[in-house]
A and B are shown apart, each in its own frame.
Chain A
Amino acid sequence: ASSLAAKINFKALRRKPSKSFNVRIVTIDAEMEFSCQVKWKGKDLFDLVCRTIGLREAWFFGLQYTEKGSVAWLKMDKKVLDHDVSKEEPVTFYFLAKFYPENAEEEMVQEITQHLLFLQVKKSILEEEIYCPPEASVLMASYAVQAKYGDYDPKIHKPGFLAQEELLPKRVINLYQMTPEMWEERITACYAEHRGRARDEAEMEYLKIAQDLEMYGVSYFSIRNKKGTNLMLGVDAFGLHIYDPENKLTPKISFPWNEIRNISYSDKEFAIKPLDKKTEVFKFNSSKLRVNKLILQLCIGNHDLFMRRRRVDSLEVQQMKSQAREEKARKQLERHRL
């Protein structure tokens, strides 16, 4: 026992626990609490969350918080506590998709990545943040039902089985003189057609429809042009778009990422310099400097992903894709056997 005591580093035992604080991470379907060290940077916390939920395709996601009423994202290279977050514990962050793929089927490999995006997009559609026409709402609802309930079986899925589910945006329901039973019948008719689709496949079908919706993946900001006209700026995976505030579906002008030379701001003035020198520089003002910072952050991130998609996949992504293909094949074989 004495030799064991000699081996124990008493200094280490006496060391005070490192300073830490509690954080609450809210994902689209779960909440978790972590002890975060005061010295941790955004990346340390973000990596811990990704590891905990088993997410490797981390580049689509970020930790969101509210800064003086506007949306902000945790910076990876800045200390967590140096952000303008409420210091009341637990400090809360929302783990959400910050960037969207151009093509979910080609780019999203892991089931968890697809699932988180599916849940987030579904919520945005039901909450009417993304406009979705009635027929697409019904078809997507039928895929959401397939993902949750598996194959349709009239012996199990009796009339009324969807009564408690929120499946359609209220705006869509209000457009028609249909009872809840009629909606269920309509959705079930489509649902019955999806027989054989596994959960991940049904969720991917949902995303494939969603990604053709005009407002999918667009972050909107109120801006004013040099003449003082109110406009909307949209940032997405394809580029920058300028909208009339009355019509967030069809942009008046678009600047694809590969046609932009430079984006910059000084104070509140933002400038988009097109690659074509003959095209005029588009200048606008946003509401706050903080908003400009967020716009630029989204521009840089989306542009990086745009460039990355056009290069050969990194070794890590190649390995992930091949593992995912093997896993999918194994699961399909298993299903066939069953």
Chain B
Amino acid sequence: PVPKFGPYQKALREIRNSLMPFANESG
């Protein structure tokens, strides 16, 4: 089976990391 978000995984990881410092504590 093809992994979810296959070709986008790198871009998604980068965005996730860039958002992390701004996450609400409750989030």
A residues apposed to B, CB below 8 Å:
134-136, 138-139, 174-178, 182, 186, 190, 193, 208-209, 212
A212 with B4: CB separation less than 8 A: yes
**Can you list 14 A-B pairs, Cβ within 8 angstroms, ordered by A?**
A134-B15, A135-B16, A135-B19, A136-B8, A139-B11, A139-B15, A175-B27, A176-B19, A177-B23, A177-B24, A190-B15, A193-B11, A208-B8, A212-B5
A138 with B5: CB separation less than 8 A: no
Closest to B11 in A: A139
A209 with B23: CB separation less than 8 A: no
A178 and B23 alpha carbons, distance in the complex (Å): 9
A193 and B11 alpha carbons, distance in the complex (Å): 10
B15 with A186: CB separation less than 8 A: yes
Interface digits, B1-27 against A, CB 8 Å rule (1 contact, 0 not)? 000110010011101101100111001
CB neighbours of B13 from chain A (8 A): 135
A208 and B16 alpha carbons, distance in the complex (Å): 19
B residues apposed to A, CB below 8 Å:
4-5, 8, 11-13, 15-16, 18-19, 22-24, 27
B15 with A138: CB separation less than 8 A: yes
The SS class assigned to the A binding surface is: helix
Among B4, B8, B18, B27, which residue has its beta carbon within 8 angstroms of that of A186?
A: B18
Among B4, B5, B24, which residue has its beta carbon within 8 angstroms of that of A175?
A: B24
A135 and B4 alpha carbons, distance in the complex (Å): 14
Q: How far is the CB of A128 from chain B (nearest CB, A)?
A: 15
Q: How far is the CB of A337 from chain B (nearest CB, A)?
A: 28
CB neighbours of A182 from chain B (8 A): 22
CB neighbours of B16 from chain A (8 A): 134-135
CB neighbours of B27 from chain A (8 A): 174-176
A182 and B15 alpha carbons, distance in the complex (Å): 13
B12 with A176: CB separation less than 8 A: no
CB neighbours of A174 from chain B (8 A): 24, 27
CB neighbours of A209 from chain B (8 A): 5, 8
B5 with A186: CB separation less than 8 A: no
A138 and B19 alpha carbons, distance in the complex (Å): 10
